[in-house]
Amino acid sequence: MKFTFGNLPSIGWVDPVARLVELAQLCEREGLDRFGVSDWRFYHDCFVVMTACLQATERLEVESLVTDPYVRHPSLTAVAHATMDDLSRGRTILGIGAGVEQPTFWGYERRHPMDALRDAVEIMRRMFAGARVPYRGQVISVEGATVDCRCDHRSAMAMAVAALMADGDTEIEGAESVDISYPGFWDQLDTLRRGRD
C-alpha cells in the first residue's frame, strides 16, 4: 500500500509555493510515498510546483492531482511530465481526469469530456512510448508530437520498452545514447520483440 498526501486547492490559495515544497519535504521525512499537487485553474502552476517539490526531495514521488485535456494540450502535458520524470529519475506520476468540475476558459464548452480524456491518454501514451505522433481524435488532435529523450540512455531504453506496446512504428530521437551503458540493448530488445510476436 502506498500513501499520498495531496495539497488541496484550498491550501494553495493562502500558502506560498515555498510552503508546499516544505510540505513535500515533511511528507518524505515522515515516510509517505507520494505528494499530490493540484492542477486547478488560476492557482499555482501545477508543473512548476511539482518540479520544485521534486528538486527538494530525493525519494518522494510527485503527482499531478489532476490535470485534464482542457487546461493544456496533452502533447504539452506529456513533454512536461517526461521532463520532470527525467529530472527526478522516475519519480513523476501523471494524474489526469476529464476536468468537468473546473472553471472554463473564455466560456468554451467541454463537449464529450470522456472522448477528450481518451484522446489525451492515447496521445500521451504514444508519446511516452517514443513515437512521433500524428493523431486525429474525436475531440483532440495532434501532428508530429514527440518526446525527445535528450540523449539520456535511461530514457531511451525506457521509451524503447514502452514502444513495444505502442501501435505503429516508433521513432526514438537520441536512441544511440543507449550505447553509453548497454551496447547490446537494441539486439536484445529485438530478440525480445520477435519472441513476443
Statement: residue 151 has pLDDT above 60:
no
The residue among 185, 132, 124, 193 whose CA lies nearest residue 158 is 185
Mean pLDDT of the chain: 83
Top-confidence residue, 33 or 197 = 33
Q: What is the spatial distance between Cα 12 and Cα 164, in angstroms, rounded to a whole number? A: 40
Statement: residue 185 has pLDDT above 90:
no
pLDDT band of 47, cuts 50, 70, 90: very high
The residue among 92, 85, 28 whose CA lies nearest residue 65 is 92
Statement: residue 15 has pLDDT above 70:
yes
Statement: residue 91 has pLDDT above 60:
yes
The mean pLDDT of 71-97, rounded to a whole number, is: 90
The residue among 195, 193, 191, 175 whose CA lies nearest residue 183 is 175
Question: Quick one: pLDDT at residue 174?
Answer: 73
The string of pLDDT tens digits covering residues 100-142 is 777 666 566 777 889 999 999 999 988 887 778 888 999 989 8
pLDDT band of 62, cuts 50, 70, 90: very high
The residue among 99, 148, 109 whose CA lies nearest residue 127 is 148
pLDDT band of 8, cuts 50, 70, 90: low
Top-confidence residue, 2 or 21 = 21
Report which listed range, 5-9, 106-110, 179-183, is most confident.
Answer: 179-183
The mean pLDDT of 164-170, rounded to a whole number, is: 63
Query: CA 99: distance to chain centroid?
Result: 16
pLDDT band of 5, cuts 50, 70, 90: confident
Statement: residue 77 has pLDDT above 60:
yes
Statement: residue 180 has pLDDT above 60:
yes
pLDDT band of 41, cuts 50, 70, 90: confident
